[in-house]
A and B are shown apart, each in its own frame.
Chain A
Amino acid sequence: QSVLTQPPSVSGAPGQRVTISCTGSSFNIGAGYDVHWYQQLPGTAPKVLIYGNSNRPSGVPDRFSGSKSGTSASLAITGLQAEDEADYFCQSYDSSLSGWVFGGGTKLTVL
Chain B
Amino acid sequence: QVQLVQSGAEVKKPGSSVKVSCKASGGTFSSYGFSWVRQAPGQGLEWMGGIIPIFGTANYAQKFEGRVTITADESSSTAYMELSSLRSEDTAVYYCAGTRDWFDPWGQGTLVTVSS
> Contact residues of A with B, CB < 8 Å?
2, 33-34, 36, 38, 45-48, 51-52, 57, 89, 91, 93, 97-105
Residues on the A chain within 8 Å of B47, using CB: 99-102
Docked-complex contact B106 and A102, CB < 8 angstroms: no
Q: How far is the CA of A100 from the CA of B106 in the complex (A)?
A: 16
Taking chain A's interface residues, is the majority helix, strand, or loop, or is none over half, making it mixed? strand
Assess the A97–B44 pair: CB atoms within 8 A: no
Interface on chain B toward A: helix, strand, loop, or mixed SS? strand
Select one of B62, B101, B108 contacting A98, CB under 8 A.
Answer: B62
- From the candidates B45, B61, B104, name the one contacting A97 in the complex (CB within 8 A): B61
B53 at the A/B interface (Cβ < 8 Å)?
A: no
Determine which of A45, A99, A103 lies in contact with B108 in the assembled complex, contact meaning CB atoms within 8 Å.
A45
Decide if B103 touches A48 in the complex (CB within 8 Å).
yes
B44/A52 in contact, CB under 8 A? no
B59: shortest Cβ distance to chain A, in Å? Answer: 7
Contacts of B35 in A (CB 8 A): 100
Query: Given B46, B62, B95, B101, which contacts A52 in the complex, CB threshold below 8 Å?
Result: B101
